[in-house]
Amino acid sequence: MLNGNNAKQLKSVEIKEWGQLVFLNNIKRSPRFFRLRKAITKEKDLNSLNSFANPTIKSIQRTKTP
């Protein structure tokens, strides 16, 4: 069984080896980023569906007013 110190050492080794992976996992768990990611994937899905169904819809979507 790991005591506190061993767990901390293991964690720091994990972070050193898998720094970006840990960072990405933290982002995935963060609710703010999760909502953002969800919105991005939803938009991608809509765009791919629209372009598949009707190619002209995508060009209309691109010309949104700022």
Q: Model-level pTM?
A: 0.20
Taking only the tens place, the pLDDT of each residue in 18-57 is 555 555 555 555 556 556 666 656 666 666 655 555 555 5
Q: What is the reported pLDDT for 65?
A: 56
Backbone angles phi, psi at 65, to 5 degrees: -80, 140
Q: CA dist 18 to 25, 40, 44, 58, Å?
A: 10, 25, 28, 39
Query: DSSP label at 18?
Result: T
C-alpha–C-alpha distance, residues 50 and 16, integer Å: 43
Q: What is the reported pLDDT for 49?
A: 57
Strands (E), 1-66: none
- Positive or negative, the Cα torsion across 24, 29, 34, 38? positive
